[in-house]
Structure 1
Amino acid sequence: MVITLREHATARSIPLDTITGRALAVSRVLETATPDPERPGNWLLRAGSRVGAIRVPLPTPRSPGARARDALTLRIVPKTPVRRLFFLLGFSLDPARAWRQEQDGSVDVGAHEDVVPALAYAVERQIDRALRQGVLQGYQRVEESALVVRGRIREAEQIRRHFGRTPPIEIAYDAYTPDIPENRILRAACEVLLRLPDVPSDVRRRLSHQRVRLADATPLVRGRELPRWTPSRLNARYQRALPLAEAVIRGTSPEHRTGELPINGFLFDMNALFEDFVTGALREAVREHGLTGRLQDPHHLDIAGKVRMRPDLVVHHPDGRTPVAVVDAKYKTEKAGSYPSADLYQMLAYCTVLGLGEGHLVYAAGQRGERVHEVRGSGRPGVLGGVRLYQHVVDLDRDPSQLLDTFRGLAARLAADHNQQ
């Protein structure tokens, strides 16, 4: 059974059993998952900002001789074209590189038009490029019991475990091995994708091949932090594959269980993806003017320091201490011809705390053109005319180069305002 929903579309009434409906509701994958009051046996399903695919095994019938049913596959289709979505992803993973390339999608998705097939294809291609010169090896610290001496004897462990007896001998040494963090991450990404629904058979076959090539890397334990790796010239050929592989592992939905039903899949949070794109693109753009952008810059609303606030991006003077502008990204659509007033209140609070005369809100959809709101009673010495709040709309259907030009224009404007101060 396959259900296809569209991101932020109207709720659909779908026939579902109670166990499966409750599993979807508890998982919070959807914005709405409630019984349909007008159609008994149906559930109202509405997708939010998460896009991708999940699989829910349908409960096994308990009647004698009944056959088990297939799993339910839920697909959530993004409003943004898949190729453009992966351009946003590529930019958020490595803004500096994507900014230099300015190509139509820094992540190759082939001819695939759905999220999971495109993701699986992109990851497999990047892993294949990383491994073309062979599997990377490195030195890893090994501590073990052995029959022969190799490296250094761990004297404390030798006495504690084998006092008066030899062998075995407790030793420690550096082994040159493919079992390094980089290979563990790539192997884990292959295994994640092989568990997902909708992965094309040819891509699944190539992913299985890549997993075999990485067989000497230790499998990661689900739920634990990813191993850390440090970019260097030695792992340069891995550096495009690793961020994408990490995004796959982190984006995999955890196993939500209701009764005996596990939910597995992969989901992009479009809210986070859009925020990362806007802040990353604007931070790179202001650098061209000698300014510095800080992501999630921490501040406090009150003097006592009890109410925390974190604007998405605060642009600073080259001295690194003086705020020049504040920007917040909002992945939402205007309602009834206007954006939520709460966004303006939030931006006004940012401007007040930072001592700025203007703030900028960037939206993913809505009426084209810029809107400006001058706040009443906000005039004060040094701020001509009071606080102005600007609302911008980014058209994600535009070409990547045009999207980046939008942020270049905004950055140039912020720099000009700074120079006039």
Structure 2
Amino acid sequence: MPEVTLREYGPAVSVPLAAEAGRTLAASGILQSATPDPAVNGNWLLRAGSRVGAVHAPGGLVLRILPKTPVDRLFFLLGFSLDPARAWRDSAEGTIDTGTYNDVVPALAHAVERRIDAALRQGVLQGYRQVEESALVVRGRVLESEQIRRRFGRTPPVEVTYDAYTADTAENRILRAAAERLLRLPGVPGVVRRRLARQRVRLADALPLVRGQELPRWQPSRLNSRYQTALRLAEAVLRGVSPEHRPTGPDPLSIDGFLLDMNKVFEDFVTVALREALRERGLTAYLQDPHHLDTAGKVKIRPDLVARTGDGRTALAVVDAKYKVEKPDGLLNADLYQALAYATVLRLPEAHLVYAAGRQPERFHEIRGSTAGPGGRGIRLHLHSLDLAREPARLVSTLREIAGRLAAVALQP
């Protein structure tokens, strides 16, 4: 099976591809661009954007997209946003083990398998589940209405309902589905694949999930505490971060795989870390807070984070995360206009932009003609840089410092 390796926002690669397969890949949205190569007939130029991972592309092609960020750092960002309470940054219990793999899919498969193995080390979790079935003997309670509707009052069989103590729980179903999903992905090493198959056998008493249906719900508790890290990783595999792209049209070609959108990974990490730090200061944070730019309510805006007082009534500051590097002149006008719109709508004295990297130290721009700031000063737009090459503890520390700046607004007259 042919395999092509791309790099996140790297140069385009010329790949031999049928016209229909190329058009399907271009319409899928998983790449920044997919266009016919004018220099080579029958080839397409493929260029990766912010999505990293691996997919089965049309024509039997396997696409591997490598991230710019080291894989262990990427999974730190992902893990922290999934479960910050487990102290991913400094606890061996909370660290996502990616092994020695420097590619997204192998590292993910290894991490999920290791977490499932740790969760099952004390045995498969069992619990009570309500069962309704037709039985030859009475067990539990007879469903009289169902007995009359289905059996016209005749017995046996008997329509009954009872609580069964079983391994077919929501937690085990999710773990089994994640293992099966990973077994279908390209690029999973043989040793990891064999371990995943072993975990699937251990979870055989849990029913498989039906594709397309919502994931079963589970509630964190003392009983499933050893499962929780594995469950959150498994849900990341099964939810929107592992999409199946199925373009519409006659006889569509499917594109199946696992992709992480680095824009979303960075945004989630920044907003979750800020939310936790603000909570320690008695403030609340609203993520993806919906508002309207115009009085008619037709132009929607959705800031990444709005910091509010503890009761949630008063907005203090607004934050937007940008997975990009600042331009050499330090001015990203579109970002500044967006931040200014947020501050204006929310009547805030300042707004904050957090970049994945920057060329200048933290600074701000004071807006002429605006008087939302204290003492009649103009609105200030603060620019922060979060260098992803730094150690995890330093990344969290930087965001805690930014949270302190947001909290300081509450103390201003």
TM-score, L = length of structure 1: 0.92
What is the rounded CA distance, in whole Å, between the counterparts of 1:43 and 1:168 in structure 2? 62
With over 3 angstroms needed to count, the CA separation of the structure-2 counterparts of 1:99 and 1:54, relative to structure 1, is: closer
Question: Is the partner of 2:357 in helix, strand or coil?
Answer: coil
With over 3 angstroms needed to count, the CA separation of the structure-2 counterparts of 1:354 and 1:387, relative to structure 1, is: same
With over 3 angstroms needed to count, the CA separation of the structure-2 counterparts of 1:310 and 1:109, relative to structure 1, is: same
With over 3 angstroms needed to count, the CA separation of the structure-2 counterparts of 1:381 and 1:177, relative to structure 1, is: closer
Question: Is the partner of 2:339 in helix, strand or coil?
Answer: helix
C-alpha displacement of 1:301? 2.4
C-alpha displacement of 1:352? 1.0
Question: Is the partner of 2:297 in helix, strand or coil?
Answer: coil
Pair 1:317 & 2:309 matched = yes
- Which stretch shifts more, 239-248 or 17-26? 17-26
* Matched residue, 2:242: 252
What is the percent sequence identity of the aligned residues? 66
* Matched residue, 1:5: 6
Question: Is the partner of 1:179 in helix, strand or coil?
Answer: coil
- Whether contact under 8 Å (2:349, 2:373) holds in the other structure is no
* Matched residue, 1:16: 17
What is the rounded CA distance, in whole Å, between the counterparts of 2:89 and 2:242 in structure 1? 29
Pair 1:418 & 2:407 matched = no
Q: How does 1:19-418 map to 2 (within 5 A)?
A: 19-56=20-57, 58=59, 71-98=60-87, 101=90, 106-250=95-239, 251-256=241-246, 259=251, 261-335=253-327, 337-380=329-372, 382-418=374-410
Letter in structure 2 aligned against 1:154: L
What is the rounded CA distance, in whole Å, between the counterparts of 1:99 and 1:181 in structure 2? 25
Q: 1:210-260: CA deviations, max 9, x gaps? A: 000111111111121111001111111101100000001122231526846
Letter in structure 1 aligned against 2:411: N
- Which stretch shifts more, 324-333 or 19-28? 19-28
What is the rounded CA distance, in whole Å, between the counterparts of 1:134 and 1:368 in structure 2? 53
- Whether contact under 8 Å (1:82, 1:113) holds in the other structure is yes
C-alpha displacement of 1:102? 6.5
Letter in structure 2 aligned against 1:256: R
Question: Is the partner of 1:113 in helix, strand or coil?
Answer: coil
What is the rounded CA distance, in whole Å, between the counterparts of 1:96 and 1:382 in structure 2? 35
Unaligned residue ranges in structure 1 (runs of 5+): 59-70
With over 3 angstroms needed to count, the CA separation of the structure-2 counterparts of 1:103 and 1:335, relative to structure 1, is: farther
C-alpha displacement of 1:320? 2.2
- Whether contact under 8 Å (2:177, 2:208) holds in the other structure is yes
- Whether contact under 8 Å (2:62, 2:186) holds in the other structure is yes
- Which stretch shifts more, 275-284 or 363-372? 363-372
- Whether contact under 8 Å (1:142, 1:173) holds in the other structure is yes
- Whether contact under 8 Å (1:357, 1:383) holds in the other structure is no
With over 3 angstroms needed to count, the CA separation of the structure-2 counterparts of 1:385 and 1:96, relative to structure 1, is: same
- Whether contact under 8 Å (1:279, 1:313) holds in the other structure is yes
Unaligned residue ranges in structure 2 (runs of 5+): none
With over 3 angstroms needed to count, the CA separation of the structure-2 counterparts of 1:255 and 1:302, relative to structure 1, is: closer
How big is the alpha-carbon RMSD for the aligned residues of Structure 1 and Structure 2?
A: 2.0
- Whether contact under 8 Å (2:89, 2:95) holds in the other structure is no
C-alpha displacement of 1:261? 3.8
C-alpha displacement of 1:322? 1.1
What is the rounded CA distance, in whole Å, between the counterparts of 2:7 and 2:152 in structure 1? 67
What is the rounded CA distance, in whole Å, between the counterparts of 2:190 and 2:24 in structure 1? 28
Letter in structure 1 aligned against 2:61: L
Letter in structure 1 aligned against 2:339: M
What is the rounded CA distance, in whole Å, between the counterparts of 1:214 and 1:409 in structure 2? 44
- Whether contact under 8 Å (1:24, 1:33) holds in the other structure is yes
With over 3 angstroms needed to count, the CA separation of the structure-2 counterparts of 1:151 and 1:185, relative to structure 1, is: same
C-alpha displacement of 1:133? 0.8
C-alpha displacement of 1:183? 0.4
What is the rounded CA distance, in whole Å, between the counterparts of 1:25 and 1:350 in structure 2? 33
* Matched residue, 1:65: none
What is the rounded CA distance, in whole Å, between the counterparts of 1:314 and 1:413 in structure 2? 13
What is the rounded CA distance, in whole Å, between the counterparts of 2:245 and 2:302 in structure 1? 30
C-alpha displacement of 1:165? 2.0
C-alpha displacement of 1:348? 0.9
Question: Is the partner of 1:192 in helix, strand or coil?
Answer: helix
Question: Is the partner of 1:319 in helix, strand or coil?
Answer: coil
C-alpha displacement of 1:299? 2.4
* Matched residue, 1:67: none
What is the rounded CA distance, in whole Å, between the counterparts of 2:253 and 2:296 in structure 1? 47
TM-score, L = length of structure 2: 0.94
Question: Is the partner of 2:148 in helix, strand or coil?
Answer: helix
Question: Is the partner of 1:48 in helix, strand or coil?
Answer: coil
